[in-house]
Chain A
Amino acid sequence: MESHKEAQLKGVFECHLCGLTAPYSYYGQKPPNTRSVVLLEESYVMKDPFTPDKDKFLILGSQCSLCNRRVCVGTECSLFYCKRFCLPCINENLQAFPLEIRQDLDKKKSHSKSHPSKNADART
């Protein structure tokens, strides 16, 4: 019973950039009960709360391979390209990334500029 509980809750993941917090139950590359899936980075993982299937997991985030800060997988915070990179680090090293990724980021920037108040709005 006790060990089961411990497996359930490892700690709370918090994104260094957006402040998203969520409890995680596993950290690593091989989430439990998912034999055929492996993760390509050490990740903070929880059971997917949006499906009743107990074996489905949800990756919350991981460490930026450059600055080692914990960041969430949200596209406003980080990006995976063979490794995890937080957005600030990518912006500092834009030239190291292929064109497609740079274009992607540009697109996102202009998008978030056109809806700047989206987040603030929800808080009032």
Chain B
Amino acid sequence: MESRAKKRCRDPSPSRGHQGGLWDWSCPETRRRMEELYFREQDYIRAGSEDSCQFWTFFERLQRFQSLKAEREQAVLSPSAQADPSATPGLAGLPQEYDPRYRINLSVLSGDMEELVRGKRGDRRRGSGVPAERLSQFRAALLHYLDFTQKQSFAKLVKLQRERVALPITQYRDRLLRAVAQNQVVVVAGDTGCGKSTQVPQYLLAAGYSHVACTQPRRIACISLAKRVGFESLHQYGDEVGYQIRFESTRSPATKIVFLTEGLLLRQVQREPALPGYQVLIADEVHERHLHSDFLLGVLRRLLPARPDLKLVLMSATINIRLFAGYFGGAPVVQVPGRLFPITIIYQPIPQEEAAANRKPERLDPRPYLRVLQAIDHKYPPEERGDLLIFLSGVAEIGSVLEAAQTYATHTQRWVVLPLHSTLSIAEQDKVFDMPPPGVRKCIVSTNIAETSVTIDGVRFVLDSGKVKELSYDPQAKLQRLQEFWISRASAEQRKGRAGRTGPGVCYRLYAESDYDAFAPYPVPEIQRVALDALVLQMKSMGLGDPRTFPFLEPPPQASLETAVRYLREQGALDGAEGLTPIGNLLAQLPVDVVIGKILVLGSLFRLAGPVLTLAAALSVQSPFLRPMRPDPDCATARRPLESPHGDPLTLLNTFNEWVQVKSERAGGSRKWCRRRGMEEHRLYEAANLRRQFQELLRDHGLLETTAARPRDSYARQSRHRERRELHQLRRRHEETEGRKRKVLKLQEGEAGSTSDEEGAGGDRSRGIDIQDVKFKLRHNVDELQAAAGTALSSNQLTLLKLVLCRGLYPQLAVPDHYNSCRKDSDQIFHTKNKQGIVLHPTCVFAASPELLQVTEKGAAEGRRQDSQEGLSSRHQLLAFVSLLETNKPYLVNCLRVPALQALLLFSRALDTNADCTRLVADSWLELGVPDSEAALRLLASAIQLRAAWEGLLNQQLEGRCGESQRALDPREVATLRQGLLEFLEHEVQYTLHRLTALEKQNLYVGPQTVAAALGLPGLFQGAEMMPDEEKGGYRVTDFLTYNCLAGDADLYSDCLRSFWTCPHCALYMPFTPLERMSHENSCRPQTQEAPPEEVAGSPAKPSALQRPYRCDVCQQDFMFTSTEILRHRKKHP
């Protein structure tokens, strides 16, 4: 005691808080002092933590309570009733003087206690200087607090278990396990809230099954279910519950149950057809009928006989259960009732006259929706909580209801109106989970995303428009259409059910009961309304035979399958016998669109892997550019430097690269950078993940040389190591404090402008950690990415990159309308081969700068223009596009401009010419007029060569990777091709570009003829036979080129059009027809330098492939001549 007193005198720091003997618990200095003693780094509660804040709140409450109690007890000083402890020995020694302290079953060793215990006086300043009675007061409070937190958590545990037991499925547990034990396939049918998704996996685990896979249609569900199941089982299984989605996996050897997407399980079947790693498969939500889900069921049905030990559990809402049970040979069904509160349905069809009076039918009339808001305000007092969920068909519709509802909300102050659709940023989507202030309701205006994907608690009212917009696929036009449909009865019920999750609800339907009865019973399964290219490709690579005869759950339309097969053949993924080609085999393993896959493969040939990986990844995710309801000029200005004049894919490339730069330069700055540009950063993260996956895939397939790990010096290695360790720590700390707390919404929340909310996604900002950034840096080699992003493309590389893109995208080409130069910027229209009058998507760079597509001659072409044909130019351009989307109008999405003539010569599947090749028709829809016949021939000839060389190298590359001997490509050949392509693109030739009319198409070809005129001609190419084309007429020169088959002026000229010409190689000078000239040039082309000399030396001995029989009519002799030799010979006979 003595030493303590002394200490107090010497210690200068005792807080100002209790100077003058007045002890003030609320003084920060006092609290800091106590925290130093009790909340040290090694203590149960740490200073400054959330826990310590909660403690002080508790402390204040406890003090108030105790002072009240003290007053009361002073008043009624009752003698403590004496108990009788004598009875049982175990009860001896119980204190008879009651003290609440005896009720607490734990104790705390604090700083000062330890000091006293150990008798240590080392650090003087740590001596408390706090009066003993205060210390014990604090200690008592601390114990009470700990006891309180224990009780709190224990109550949660009891509640959790009660809730689990209360789930409808619980009563079916034994029945289910029995069914699974006795059958290979079991169907569990149960509606929302029955608990099947969370409980069935746990039942199976508890029953001793392991190696369980549970498929989900959505990635997000995989994560949340794994978390939920881990939590409900109180982490009993630890890391035995995991999930696996495209880029993330928490799977480990200990994993007993994994939640994964249907697509991912299909990929696993592709690798290991018998799925040896699993004992039980649970396919959840099969009633949603996603493409992958339907296909997976088909694949599993085939697999089951080969794996009699494998169990399959199908889980479905109570929709069309017979279909599933029947498909698996009458599998038993365990039917579980759902748990919904009663819901009142109010049919409120929009009156005919009101619908007719809507002057702008393309804009949704918000009045019927406002009436429901008013009705709710009228009928239900604001204290009765309950939010409203409105289902609309699309984003535009959401916009008009949102606007009207917000005006109403500002007026009444009783609503917070929030939009919900998939193109919103994550942060905005997250707002729908926040709480409205008291007396205010949330009104969530949503697409059908809230029907199944997003579940919002607290919804009491549902307002259903009865409409949905769905992509429907037109196999003929190979076009995706976003069309509005009436929903199905099943969807209507699903929407209604959202009102009855937490209590009785009301569902307003803006259609009549008779409409409802007329709805289709179920939604159209995805397999019947989407493009099936990827599906067919995957089926081929799984060896499932002819997709037309595959026993699908419900077969897709035959036309869709045919289109898919034809498309894959066109794209070179299937051969004539519908077998997989080498490139097709590779494409089947890339989880992307065929077109994107092709671009990846093509790019690796020209060492463009870096930019091509980025492009392919960026084109495979949703555009990072958000479209605000109202245009924001600042944002547009900030985006401008990223825009590429070449087209949207390159804008995406710039954007990604710039983003990587920002990330590597200032940590965490990228989030702000994105926000300023109106971009959703999440999609760039996705692109980065996808890029990495592509990179690994290309590496695995030998299409990308493994970059030899650059030898780092030990210092760099160490610092990288240290950096990673710090990042890991950051992530761990984030995970520990994870769990976004629900915020309270402000009244004006949903209004424009709140998008730029500084909070960003989640509440991480306050803690200063950008967890996405941390994960990004852990997952990727940022240095490598930055190096790839930092090197600017040379103009040659850019040209080649565009060419690669165009080849991949072909035949997705559009031609500008002839009259575009006279149209307003926004009215520019385009045509594809099958579809006319398409407009640019508003996000497209050419929509803002249409002049980039105008045909303007460089330099003064004035003089020439006078005597030239109209429309003659060397700069016609086409748009290659990534997709065609039809909403209210057809849109071209992600466009790239390319030189028309060169692109068509290099990529057309069919190229038809007239006699002197001044007229060329590409794929029977675009006509090129090249007045300069010589130039036309020159280009055509080199196009033929380049195509052959390119195709050859590509095949070598793809086949080489299959064989054991990885035959590297000859770099000289690649360089020659590269050079050739670049020169080809630099040609400036004047030409016209014309889209054939229907009438012109009808009379395009001369048709089959019996003319023998060309028989005497020497072979046009080495080894290429000139065969009369039996359909078009003229002669087939290569598989894409048909010479002299165009009807019109052609055949009149064919023989008399000889003109004098000097061969640049052999200096031969004589009259040639265009064809003869082509023929000569091809055979005379110096193929010398590269060829090894011994081959040249050996050539005269045996007849080379170039030689063919030639009979000279003048000297009456037969020869074996090459084309050149023929010409030389003829020259001898003047």
B234 in contact with A39 (CB, 8 Å)? no
Distance (Å) between the CB of B172 and the closest chain A CB?
14
A46-B234 contact given A36-B43, A66-B88, A84-B105, CB 8 Å threshold: yes
Distance (Å) between the CB of B232 and the closest chain A CB?
9
Distance (Å) between the CB of A84 and the closest chain B CB?
7
A95-B84 contact given A54-B736, A122-B165, CB 8 Å threshold: yes
What chain B residues lie within 8 Å of A40 (beta carbons)? Answer: 104-107
B793 is an interface residue with CB less than 8 A from chain A: no
B234 in contact with A49 (CB, 8 Å)? yes
What chain B residues lie within 8 Å of A74 (beta carbons)? Answer: 154, 158
Interface residue total, chain B, C-beta cutoff 8 A: 52
Q: Scoring A residues 18 to 46 as 1 if CB is less than 8 Å from chain B, else 0, what string do you get?
A: 00111100000000001111111101001
B96 in contact with A49 (CB, 8 Å)? no
Distance (Å) between the CB of A34 and the closest chain B CB?
5
Distance (Å) between the CB of A70 and the closest chain B CB?
15
A50-B161 Cα distance, complex, nearest whole Å: 13
B96 in contact with A98 (CB, 8 Å)? yes
Q: Which of B87, B90, B163 contacts A95 (CB 8 A)?
A: B87
Smallest Cβ-Cβ distance to A79: which chain B residue: B103
A53-B50 Cα distance, complex, nearest whole Å: 11
Distance (Å) between the CB of B38 and the closest chain A CB?
8
B738 is an interface residue with CB less than 8 A from chain A: yes
B231 in contact with A36 (CB, 8 Å)? no
What chain A residues lie within 8 Å of B42 (beta carbons)? Answer: 35-36
A121-B735 Cα distance, complex, nearest whole Å: 37
What chain A residues lie within 8 Å of B146 (beta carbons)? Answer: 37
A122 in contact with B88 (CB, 8 Å)? no
A20 in contact with B106 (CB, 8 Å)? no
Q: Which of B97, B110, B158, B166 contacts A20 (CB 8 A)?
A: B158
B43 in contact with A123 (CB, 8 Å)? no
Q: Scoring B residues 564 to 581 as 1 if CB is less than 8 Å from chain A, else 0, what string do you get?
A: 000000000000000000
A99 in contact with B153 (CB, 8 Å)? no
A91 is an interface residue with CB less than 8 A from chain B: no
The 4 lowest CB-CB distance pairs between A and B, nearest first, are: A99-B81, A98-B98, A96-B91, A23-B236
A96-B150 contact given A41-B105, A81-B94, CB 8 Å threshold: no
A96 in contact with B238 (CB, 8 Å)? no
B150 in contact with A59 (CB, 8 Å)? yes
A58-B83 contact given A22-B234, A36-B108, CB 8 Å threshold: no
What chain B residues lie within 8 Å of A56 (beta carbons)? Answer: 44
Smallest Cβ-Cβ distance to A22: which chain B residue: B234
B80 is an interface residue with CB less than 8 A from chain A: yes
A72-B757 Cα distance, complex, nearest whole Å: 47
A118-B867 Cα distance, complex, nearest whole Å: 97
Q: Scoring A residues 68 to 88 as 1 if CB is less than 8 Å from chain B, else 0, what string do you get?
A: 000011100001111110000
Residues of B at the A interface (CB closer than 8 Å) are 40, 42-44, 51, 80-81, 83-85, 87-88, 90-91, 93-98, 102-110, 146, 150, 153-154, 156-158, 161-163, 165-166, 231, 234-236, 238, 254, 735-739
What chain A residues lie within 8 Å of B254 (beta carbons)? Answer: 5
Most B-side CB within 10 Å, residue of A21, A49, A73 = A49
B95 in contact with A93 (CB, 8 Å)? no
Known: A39-B107, A60-B157, A119-B162. 14 other contacts (CB 8 A): A21-B161, A35-B109, A36-B108, A37-B109, A51-B153, A58-B153, A59-B154, A62-B105, A66-B90, A82-B102, A95-B83, A96-B87, A98-B97, A122-B163
A31-B108 Cα distance, complex, nearest whole Å: 12
A80-B93 Cα distance, complex, nearest whole Å: 14
A54-B738 Cα distance, complex, nearest whole Å: 13
A8 in contact with B150 (CB, 8 Å)? no
A96-B85 contact given A9-B236, A49-B157, CB 8 Å threshold: yes
A95-B1050 Cα distance, complex, nearest whole Å: 121
What chain B residues lie within 8 Å of A52 (beta carbons)? Answer: 735-739
A96 in contact with B88 (CB, 8 Å)? yes
Q: Which of A23, A34, A123 contacts B165 (CB 8 A)?
A: A123
Q: Which of A8, A50, A97 contacts B94 (CB 8 A)?
A: A97
What chain A residues lie within 8 Å of B105 (beta carbons)? Answer: 39-41, 43, 59, 62, 73, 80, 84
Smallest Cβ-Cβ distance to A99: which chain B residue: B81
Residue pairs across A and B with Cβ atoms less than 8 A apart, 8 shown, are A22-B234, A37-B107, A37-B109, A40-B105, A52-B737, A52-B739, A95-B87, A122-B162
What chain A residues lie within 8 Å of B98 (beta carbons)? Answer: 98-101
B43 in contact with A80 (CB, 8 Å)? no
A72-B151 Cα distance, complex, nearest whole Å: 11
A123-B164 Cα distance, complex, nearest whole Å: 9
A73 in contact with B109 (CB, 8 Å)? no
B108 in contact with A98 (CB, 8 Å)? no
Smallest Cβ-Cβ distance to A98: which chain B residue: B98
A22 in contact with B736 (CB, 8 Å)? no
A96-B83 contact given A36-B42, A37-B146, A66-B88, CB 8 Å threshold: yes
What chain A residues lie within 8 Å of B51 (beta carbons)? Answer: 53
What chain A residues lie within 8 Å of B150 (beta carbons)? Answer: 58-59, 73
B109 in contact with A36 (CB, 8 Å)? yes
What chain A residues lie within 8 Å of B94 (beta carbons)? Answer: 81-83, 96-97
A41-B43 Cα distance, complex, nearest whole Å: 20
B166 in contact with A99 (CB, 8 Å)? no
Distance (Å) between the CB of A117 and the closest chain B CB?
13
A5-B761 Cα distance, complex, nearest whole Å: 35
B106 in contact with A48 (CB, 8 Å)? no
What chain B residues lie within 8 Å of A62 (beta carbons)? Answer: 105
What chain A residues lie within 8 Å of B110 (beta carbons)? Answer: 36
A112 is an interface residue with CB less than 8 A from chain B: no
A113-B80 Cα distance, complex, nearest whole Å: 28
A53-B166 Cα distance, complex, nearest whole Å: 29
A5-B736 Cα distance, complex, nearest whole Å: 20
